[in-house]
Each structure stands twice: as C-alpha cells, then as structure tokens.
Amino acid sequence: MGGFLFCRGIKEKNLLDPLPGTGSSPQPNQHQWAGHEAALERVFAVPGVVFLVGGMDTGKTTFGIDLAARAVAAGIPTAIVDADIGQSTVGPPTTVGLKLCSGMGNVARESIRDADGLGFVGALTPAGHMLPLVTGTAKLVARAMAADCKLVIIDTTGSVSGVAGQLQKFSKMDLAPPDIVIAFSRGGELEPILGHTRRFTTAEVIELEVPEAVDTRSVEERTTYRERQFAAYFQAGLSRWRIKPQVFMPSLPPEFDLALLDGIVVGMEDGKGSCVGIGVLENGGARDTLKMVSPVTEGVKGLRLGSIRISTNGRSRGPVNLRNLFQTE
C-alpha cells in the first residue's frame, strides 16, 4: 500500500451494527414548486455546468438527483459533484464526492452513495476550510468534464449567509465556472450571492421560490443522517494498518505523541492529486504506535489530517484544531 504501511492487520467484515434510535436516510420530499419543470427543461436544452445554491433544507439535493435521473434517462452524459461536506450524498462526509451517472439504471440517493472520485476537506462545515472545499470541487468538475459529461451538477452546502457564505460560493463559481445557477430562495437570503453571480460571471440565473411546505430537519436529524453516512462507508469491511509518522500532511512535530491523533479522520491520497478514501486513526495507548482503520486497502501514498474525530460507527468525537494540537503556527 504505497510503501508507507508496514504491518497489515486482520481484514474485518460487517463490524457495525445499525445505529440505535436512528431513522432512515432522508427521502426526497414530494413538493415541486413553481418553475421546477421549467428549470429542468431549460437545463436539458443547454446542458453544461449547473450550480445549485440555497440555504439548508431548500431542496437542492432532491432537485439535483431528479435532474440527474431525468438527464440519464434522456441519454445525456451526466455527473454529480457533491460539495455538501456535512450532509454528503456522494461519498462519506468530510469529502467532496463525484458520481458519474451515465449508464446507471437508477439514479437515487442510495445508488449514488459510492463515489467515483473524492476530494478530501477533513471537516463538516466550510468555516476555516474553504480552500480544500473549493479546490476539491473544481478538480472533480474538471474530472467529470474530462470524462465527457455534458451535464455536471454541483450540489453545495447550505452556508449562504454573511461574508463567509458569499466568498465560498463566489470562489467555487470562480474556479468551476457554471453555465446555469439554480437558486432555491427563501425571502432575500440569496440576493448578495445572486448579485455577485450576475456581476462577475456569465452564468444564467434561475430562481425558484421554496414553498413553506418543504420539510426541514432538526439538528438531531441532520446529525443522525451524517453518522449513518459515515457508518455506511466504514461498514464495507475494515482493515487496520500500522503506519509510519512520516506520511502525514501537515508533518508531525518532532517527538510528537501519536496517541493524540486517536480518532482523527484522514484523507488517503494516491500521490497523483486524488483522494482514494478516508480512514480513522487508532491508537491503543502506546505513545509510538498508530494504526489506520479504513475499507481502502491499496493505492495510498500519503495521509492528510482532518479536523474532526469520529468512531467507525459514525459517532462524532468532536473537532480538532491542528495548530493547538501541534502547538505551532
């Protein structure tokens, strides 16, 4: 495995039980608002890069999956780039995920979960992590276009307010220029972002008002969904690998206590600019021993440290500030 792993552990299958007290993954809501069909027809007429923007629980993901399913049925080569790192539908949370949908018999939430490409962000929210989120999105859009996809659908986080939300959306559009921006509006919350879109890009803007009847999820429901997405990823069968401390980005300080890395999510990089999966670091209490737990078993040359800790059953163990952990700038 890339030369840096020197002791492979026992392959473990079906380690995870269903999370207690959790419901199923969110299902697409049934509300179709005015303009929905017209927006779909407009995209089919001029397919290209379609950027979905809106706050939390505005129907972006449901619309995007519906759009992809109809496009595939119409014979349009289609891809989804899922940049909603905290409520991922393609790939595990903490990553941007690419799904190449062409040839799929059924395009639905469950069928697009396994990604065809990943970009590691290492966090559940954009705050403090805009650079890997934006560059990861742009790289996967480029990869989809290189695969001759005529329609690339970018799903985004619900972060739309304040300077941070504006800069994040503008930066994504700057590096992955959209042909069409579809805005899911509640009140005037998207006016600054759409103003920037009209002033600084050539994208056509289609606005859809979100009806009051659209379901919203509580913080608990969103957390449960995220934990289930993590658990589903790690449930595929795990291997444990002993790893060397020299493989990390950022590099570990000299004489660093490896036990402090226990539970941190890592991005597994192939040395060619791509992430092939995520893992969780595991320490059994020894200061100088560290293992990585992951369903990925090959093609890895380096590990990128993330900014959260989790268990492989999906449960969050809290955020990590690497500067504080390393006691460095």
User: Binning pLDDT at 50, 70 and 90, where does residue 149 land?
Assistant: very high
Q: What pLDDT, on a 0 to 100 scale, did the predictor assign at position 48?
A: 96
Tokens of 42: 């407009």
**Digit-coded pLDDT (tens) for 28-44:** 344 455 678 889 899 99
Q: What is the third-level CATH fold of 36-209?
A: Rossmann fold (3.40.50)
* Residue carrying the six token digits 């919203």: 216
Q: What pLDDT, on a 0 to 100 scale, did the predictor assign at position 284?
A: 76
The neighbouring-strand residues paired with 79 are: 100, 152
Tokens of 277: 């999966």
| Summary mean pLDDT of the chain | 88
Nearest one of 126, 27, 143 to 79, comparing CA atoms: 143
Tokens of 16: 């995870």
* Residue carrying the six token digits 């992955």: 176
pTM of the model: 0.88
Stretch(es) of the chain classified as CATH 3.40.50.300: 36-209
Average pLDDT for 203-218: 86
Q: What share of the chain is helix, strand, coil (3-state, %, to 5)?
A: 30, 25, 45
CA distance linking residue 194 with residue 192, whole number of Å: 6
Asked whether the CA dihedral 177, 183, 189, 191 is positive or negative, the reply is positive
**Digit-coded pLDDT (tens) for 288-304:** 789 999 999 899 999 99
Asked if residue 21 has pLDDT above 80, the reply is no
CA distance linking residue 304 with residue 106, whole number of Å: 34
Stretch(es) of the chain classified as CATH 2.40.30: 5-20+219-326
Tokens of 44: 């089919």
**Digit-coded pLDDT (tens) for 220-274:** 999 999 999 999 999 878 899 899 999 999 999 998 999 999 999 999 999 999 9
Q: What pLDDT, on a 0 to 100 scale, did the predictor assign at position 34?
A: 64
Helices (H), 208-313: 219-234
Q: What pLDDT, on a 0 to 100 scale, did the predictor assign at position 287?
A: 66
Burial (CB count within 10 angstroms: exposed 0-12, middle 13-18, buried 19+), residue 278? buried
Asked if residue 10 has pLDDT above 60, the reply is no
Q: Are strands 151-155 and 78-82 parallel, antiparallel or unpaired?
A: parallel
**Digit-coded pLDDT (tens) for 95-125:** 999 999 998 989 999 999 999 999 999 999 9
CB 310 within 8 A of CB 263: yes
Which residues are CB-contacts of 217 (< 8 A; sequence separation ≥ 6)?
26, 56, 57, 225
Q: Is the peptide bond before 132 cis (omega within 30 degrees of 0)?
A: no
Domain 5-20+219-326 has what CATH class? mainly beta
